[in-house]
Chains A and B, each alone.
Chain A
């Protein structure tokens, strides 16, 4: 599997620039593309989230702000310009930093959170070969980079010198680090089965055999453990204790305003997209079409739904469905208490994950030695 970057470098070779400068220049193209994806994702996701919320609560949601005179009113595209207006509003808002806050760290915290999310995208494949760097340790790189954001959250909470912020940050940190263990242990199962940490190899394995979610009963359970854990890791409801509005105002974001606050939002929605893409790539076959779900008896000529461009469509379809499920969760489940959250992680998920690890290893051993 070659990355899109190598292709870009070849494409830019006509300029005759020095190779090293060429590489650095070529990297800027996917980087800007990913930034654009993050911005567009946040804009659309906020709008959709509000509309989904409105639909589930039998309301209309945003319906006033149009786009180029395209004002929908009560129809479902009404208020389509709302989030763009919100973004412009945030950009022109007064930036208030409290007097007794730690001003340097308060500026640094959004950067760390954003860079954590932005760097994770390097290893996230949007389709076959459509990835910035196809790392050999891809899945582990994603685990590593997504664990950086927690430092930014702690800093944001601590530097604000606000009690709500600090409580929110501490809760968020405890929650995020706890749920990293089930995430690591479930992704480990995939590595056991596929025998590689490379995301391209993992999808190739699924193309040759079957999707991971239906590989064995244990990987089926693992998918749900993974998905619930990432909902907790991204601080979404029902695990949004760190920013529980009714008790902690806005959690660790309380003292932030204007564009710094927008950066947090951008990163939060980017993280939702990342974990959904990882879930779809690792468990749901990635860029494989649903025709390939079982890989039995379908002749090769029927597989017209696969390909690099359709692959992008499948990854995004699966990922956006998972994002929608996260929004659905928000209006379906009540918020957990802190102790219930910790109980769920340490006393339910981790024992289940350890048992899963045992059973998947046995399963692979039996299927690898007897049914070979």
Chain B
């Protein structure tokens, strides 16, 4: 039972939420406010995954990014020295090259969007994506699955070493 009108309205609202909160992340002078705006961005992106019929990925987005990365970011903010007055006036550097570069990036993205042959899902009523993900992880993508663990291992050891250096 698709709901076309409300569905599209909701989608536009979500896009507005994502873009608006992402803009707040960048422009807010207060780092904690930026982190809070990031919360809404993450939720909006999780909702976009739902639109793509990727329910497991959406839940993963919330678990890892909201429950993990965001907490880490806020802890990271609280580690900074300048937290006392809570306004870290981030100065803008290299405005012209930055604008130029992001403009080129935007054009490239538009080029990619209009020149990609998008795969239209002709089987939208999929019961569950978890089983498919599991079967692919253990079959076709077994090597990436194992490499991920090595990546996580190196991330863990590296992060632990770096943060330990900060203590001493």
Are A and B in contact, CB atoms below 8 Å, in the complex?
yes
Structural contact, A154 and B6, CB atoms closer than 8 A: no
CB < 8 Å: which of A23, A102, A140 contacts B56? Answer: A140
CB neighbours (8 Å) of B78 from chain A are 158, 170
CB neighbours (8 Å) of A147 from chain B are 62-63, 66-68
Nearest chain-B residue to A112 (Cβ)?
B39
B36 within 8 A of partner (CB): yes
- The interface bits of chain A over 114-144 (1 if a CB of B lies within 8 angstroms of the residue's CB, else 0) are 0000000000000000000001110011011
A246 within 8 A of partner (CB): no
Structural contact, A150 and B1, CB atoms closer than 8 A: no
Binds A, one of B69-77, B88-96, B115-123, B144-152: B69-77
A88 within 8 A of partner (CB): no
A135 to B53, CA, bound (A): 12
Structural contact, B6 and A20, CB atoms closer than 8 A: yes
Q: What's the minimum C-beta distance from A137 to chain B, rounded to whole angstroms?
A: 5
Q: Could you tell me the dominant secondary structure of chain B's interface residues?
A: helix
B59 within 8 A of partner (CB): yes
Number of A-B contacts (CB under 8 A): 80
Contact status of A144 and B59, CB under 8 A, knowing A151-B71, A154-B74, A177-B68? yes
Among residues 30 to 60 in chain B, which have CB atoms less than 8 Å away from a CB atom of chain A?
32-33, 36, 39, 55-56, 59-60
- The interface bits of chain B over 79-105 (1 if a CB of A lies within 8 angstroms of the residue's CB, else 0) are 000000010000000000000000000
CB < 8 Å: which of B59, B86, B127 contacts A141? Answer: B59
B168 within 8 A of partner (CB): no
Nearest chain-A residue to B1 (Cβ)?
A19
Nearest chain-A residue to B68 (Cβ)?
A177
A20 to B70, CA, bound (A): 34
A197 to B1, CA, bound (A): 23
A-B contact pairs, 8 of them (CB 8 A): A19-B1, A20-B4, A102-B32, A143-B63, A148-B67, A151-B70, A159-B32, A180-B67
